[in-house]
A and B are shown apart, each in its own frame.
Chain A
Amino acid sequence: MDAKDDKAAQTNDFTREVSTSAAVARHASSGSWRRLRAITRKEFIQLARDRRTVALMVGMPLVLLIIFGYGIRLSVNGISAELVGRNSPTVRAALQAQNHFKVLVTVANSESAARRDLLDGRTSVAVIIAASGLPTSVLVDGSNAFIAQNALDYLRSLTSASGVKPVNVDVLYNPALRSADFMVPSEVGMIMLWVGTVATAIGVVREREQGTLEQLMMTPIRKLELMVGKILPYSALTLVIAVMITVLGLLLFQVPLRGSPFELLLFAIPYLVSALSIGLLVSTVAQNQRQAMQTTTFVLLPQILLSGALFPLSAIPWGIRWVSQLLPLTYFTPITRNIFLKGLGFTQLWPQVAVLCAMAVVFTILAALFFKTRLD
């Protein structure tokens, strides 16, 4: 190529560049919207065709709702108990009074016989009654800590049976200690986390696995457009499922929603963004859908166990309590519980909302940093 050609080519390049940058400036925003719309539209078509994923995303929360609502009871009734030594109608009546205990074997003749019954699993509690008719000691089968803990709690309030002045216990907000009241609000948070993270991670990794991500990277689409375009449909799906769980909780289990549903929805947004960004982060390390599922489980299990959604935060040892502080669900659980059961609002819950907003920002920035529109 001679010098003249070279110069002509340069001018050509120059004019092309000028016209392009003008065109880019003019169309930048409309272009972004158009591309965003294209991605979102495509995701919705794919979602509508992928019945198995949708069934999983909707079905799994339903199953969980029913298991948590009906099946798993954090309060245990009808614990089997037996009296040892002699019958005491007072103690028996006290045990049976609140349906907490079911007195199966009226009288075992000795303590060793009672121990055998505990070993065989015929009873969970044995109350030893002295000749005076007063209970002297109680044996509890500790092999099921859950039942034992409940039994101990009931027994403590049962001192009246021995003629001592009854200890008055008042349970507030969830007087019946119904597990549904406790579980459904925290389940909303767990389900949103699960659906949001899994759907986003799988949605991106599937494109990587099938090679369509490489093709997308070759188009003028920008990183943020791709991220937002992938996330929007899954946010919609997650919110629909969260609303579904809430409505079913209200209808099936009569869980009270004492606070504002609008605030609940509003505070759910920073939480949702955090969950989806975690999904995007998972997608940056997983090469295929199997790895994505495994990584998501690895990320979600500690969240569910350590966030206080299932087990109280106070039960989590200090050594790993700091992990809890880093998890979005730790802050969303008090929001749902307090809005549902106590009717609190922004005035009381703003610290949690603020932390969630900060987390949403941090997780989004992290996802944007790790999300690459290049292959190397």
Chain B
Amino acid sequence: MAVVEALVIDNLACRRGGRLLFDAVSAHVAPGGALLLTGPNGAGKSSLLRLLAGLLQPETGTVTGGGRRAFAGHDVALKPRNTLGTELDYWARLDGGQQRLPGALAAMNLTALVDVPCRHLSSGQKRRAALARVIAAGADCWLLDEPTAGLDTASSALLVAAMAAHRAAGGLVVAAVHGDIGLADAASLRLG
């Protein structure tokens, strides 16, 4: 991984449906760092992540640095009729990361499931697949929306290990969470 610039969120405001969700949000995430977004339901955690992923435009403020970003939201973007392998291979192809895919599948304990059509996967397995897609993307900054929702203890531990490895290599993690997801020495940003 190349040397990444720090992710700088400067005086960000977001308006959704005519309502100001948050304003004057600033944060700084250094390479290897992590930022936890906390706050009650509807405070704008998901919207801030979507903003960082380029899916929303800010009302004011800027986001700079952070290198290439990969986003895992609530929607898993897996086609029910395709196998897990087909799906992840397609996204890895778009990311130019097909050689990273086997490692990503192993990291999320999905190697045995590659031939299973996505409609037969449980919600936790789909969530793991979405995380494997983030890992295989080889992006510098991971944007994770409640990544542990629906994951069992063992899978959460896999995620913790993956995030630790990513940060050790200089990557960044920004995650919207309720409660602890096992990110050591992460900065915290409370919305709402």
Asked if A and B are interacting partners, one says no
